[in-house]
Amino acid sequence: MNDPILRRLSTLDRFLPLWIFAAMAGGIFLGKVYPDLGAALDRVQFAGVSLPIAVGLLWMMYPVLAKVRYETIGQHVSDTKLLGTSLVLNWVIGPLLMLALAWLFLPDLPAYRNGLVLIGLARCIAMVLIWNSLACGSGELAAVLVALNSVFQILTYSVLGRLFLSVIPGWFGADTAALHVSMAQIAKSVGIFLGVPLVAGFLTRKLLVAQKGAAWYDGVFMPTFGPTALFGLLYTIVLMFAMQGHRLIELPFDVLRIALPLLAYFAVMFSFAFWFSRRLGFNYETTASLSFTAAGNNFELAIAVAIATFGIGSGEALAAVVGPLIEVPALVGLVYASLWARRRYFTA
């Protein structure tokens, strides 16, 4: 722990992998002791998601979005090179890479393959803000890229879903699958799980800075309030594992087969985005933000679409559930890799 960057992290941030694995184990234990807990938690839903999990998703987003300096966002919006790079990484390279890995690792399991494709098409709009913050990326740029991904998600997810599941496989004589999801459904999910905490974060910063000043807000309020986002993340992980952990235990080999292409995706996508962004001459903060938004995925949307289209007991739904369970520790590892790359390849 001699890295000066890591020393600036709180104890909670620094040992996040430990807390996450503890949350995973705690969730599985909770689901084992109370086998009916998943059904009970899922009984009350909000926007198609279990209400307790929806609370966690909103909770982990709100403090991160309250940290963004919204007054500086305009300078990023005008950078066409930067936004163009993000669009290519997220909406061309990312989905094609996941499609290729799904076919490479799961040629005989079309249901799991479809689930991975749904994950690859759902670009990250949630947890990426936490990973980007931990890696010392640009919070303002990450907010802009998340908003950009949200708009493209609303406009293109259903179209790309049909293309990648119903059209492209047919070109190679493979089985095709139908995807029934409307732009309105996607817009509702994005509007709630991004829009609500975004508005709350913006108003929190605007009102408190006007009342107490920016120095107090950034130096006193956020160091206390900001870390609660990670408590929201850990809370969400516990509930997810409590609800779905039994499926991982019952089908360990299937989970392993799903996990392998996911791990390959996160490693390849992040590494390529980081290398590509650095070659384009972006500084570390911009490179980190571009890389994390390119590597992360919107698992809330992928799970919701998989369940609504194929059913909660389908292979597609299982693959979608495994997605965030693999993504969380993988992205935590990439946070440390990003911090190492900052020290190795970028001047302070």
- Cα→Cα distances 55→59, 234, 245, Å: 6, 12, 20
Per-residue model confidence as pLDDT tens digits over 128-145 = 877 888 888 988 888 888
Buried b (16+ CB within 10 A) or exposed e, 166-202: eebbeeeeeeebebebeeebbbbbbebbbebbbebbe
Query: Considering the domain boundaries, does residue 348 fall inside one?
Result: no
Per-residue model confidence as pLDDT tens digits over 21-55 = 788 889 889 888 888 887 787 787 776 677 887 88
Averaged pLDDT for residues 260-273: 96
User: Max CA-CA distance within the chain?
Assistant: 64
Please tell me the predicted confidence (pLDDT) of residue 284: 94
Per-residue model confidence as pLDDT tens digits over 222-252 = 888 988 887 887 887 788 778 767 767 777 8
Specify the higher pLDDT residue, 317 or 121.
Answer: 121
Please tell me the predicted confidence (pLDDT) of residue 62: 84
Q: Reply yes or no on whether the pLDDT at 67 is more than 90.
A: no
- Among 340, 328, 298, smallest CA distance to 131 is for 328
Pick left, alpha or beta for residue 136 (phi over 0 → left; psi -120 to 50 → alpha; otherwise beta): left
Q: How many helices (H) and strands (E) does the chain have?
A: 21, 2
CATH of the domain at 193: 1.20.1530.20
Q: Which amino acid is at 38?
A: G
Please tell me the predicted confidence (pLDDT) of residue 283: 92
Q: Are 132 and 289 in contact (CB under 8 A)?
A: yes
Counted domains in the chain: 1
Task: Please give the DSSP secondary-structure letter assigned to residue 125.
Answer: S
Averaged pLDDT for residues 213-224: 90
Residues 240, 243: Cα–Cα separation, whole Å: 5
Task: Please give the DSSP secondary-structure letter assigned to residue 71.
Answer: G
Q: Are 164 and 95 in contact (CB under 8 A)?
A: yes
Query: Considering the domain boundaries, does residue 196 fall inside one?
Result: yes
* Residue written as token pair 């966002």: 73
Domain coverage including residue 127: 4-343
Long-range contacts of 2-7 (CB under 8 A, 24+ apart): 3/339, 3/340, 3/343, 5/136, 5/339, 5/342, 5/343, 6/336, 6/339
Query: Considering the domain boundaries, does residue 303 fall inside one?
Result: yes
Please tell me the predicted confidence (pLDDT) of residue 1: 44
What pTM does this model have? Answer: 0.75
Q: How many C-beta atoms lie closer than 10 Å to residue 83's C-beta?
A: 16
Q: Are 94 and 120 in contact (CB under 8 A)?
A: yes
CA angle 266, 268, 272 (to 5 degrees): 120
Please tell me the predicted confidence (pLDDT) of residue 96: 93
